[in-house]
Amino acid sequence: MKAALLAPRVTADPAVNLARIERMAADGVASGARLILLPEAVLTGLNNNDDPAHDLPLGQSIPGPATDRLGAFTRRHDAWLGFGLLERQGDTLYDSAVLLGPDGAVVLTYRRNQPQWHAKAADPAVYRQGSHIGVAQTPFGRVGFLLCGDLFDDGIVSRFRALRPDWLLFPFARCFSDGAVDQVRWDAEELPQYAQRVKLARTPALMVNYIGDNSLPDDNSFGGAFFISAGGEVRARLPLGVEGSLIVELGGGPGVVAD
């Protein structure tokens, strides 16, 4: 069974982003993938600024318009699809991820447990974290989500590992503070740290980051997609800054298709 790890360019226009997601996901299905994985906050980018008047409109309910539309996609294509989004529940906001099944239903919902998707001073009545970690049974094994900074919290990783999942689905949003798309620095300094954290989780990881568009203020997320083994070996990768798909054979060797 194949998975397509999509690294799209994300703009300030959610309608443009959703159309791009559908187009890239259709290409992934055409490449033989039955699991599609997208990055953290892929509908809007992680474009929150800790002002509720700005940030709450970025959120969507679960289920909601995006899960309904992408659920229709999974029904048409008999596919599984995981993606990250800012989730709005009333006047609260979460950094969340969902897995949709081939019937279009929400199979698994996860709310980021680690709080650094917002500033420490952000209003805790609005900006929330989850406390639960779950797994879902699928044809490709037991899967669960972690989001971005969750992977660097020992307690969260320990709780995830205790569930004995077969796959870690890891949407994230990552940039360098200077805005660089620096492959050498990433490969030498950053990717080895992620690989060691995956090794601590003892679960093979499918990881994907979006590419920030110029229309998103101060968002320099640099993309990339990665398949890392439970032993911390980087088995396949999509280079930074490349809008495209990493096609992974979950039971064998990987390949890359890039736009």
Q: What are the chain's domains?
A: 2-258 (3.60.110.10)
Whether residue 239 is preceded by a cis peptide bond, meaning omega within 30 degrees of 0, is no
| Positions in the chain whose pLDDT score sits under 50 | 252-259
What is the separation of C-alpha 244 from the centre of its chain, rounded to a whole number of angstroms?
15
List pLDDT tens digits, range 2-32.
Answer: 999 999 999 999 999 999 999 999 999 999 9
Closest CA to 21 of 45, 40, 46, 43: 43
- Residue 77: what pLDDT? 98
- Residue 125: what pLDDT? 98
Nearest 5°: phi and psi at 108? Answer: -150, 135
pTM, two decimal places: 0.95
Q: Residue 9 and residue 211: Cα distance in Å, rounded?
A: 5
Strand pairing category for 2-7 and 255-258: unpaired
- Residue 202: what pLDDT? 97
Q: Which amino acid is it at 100?
A: L
Nearest 5°: phi and psi at 133? Answer: -125, 130
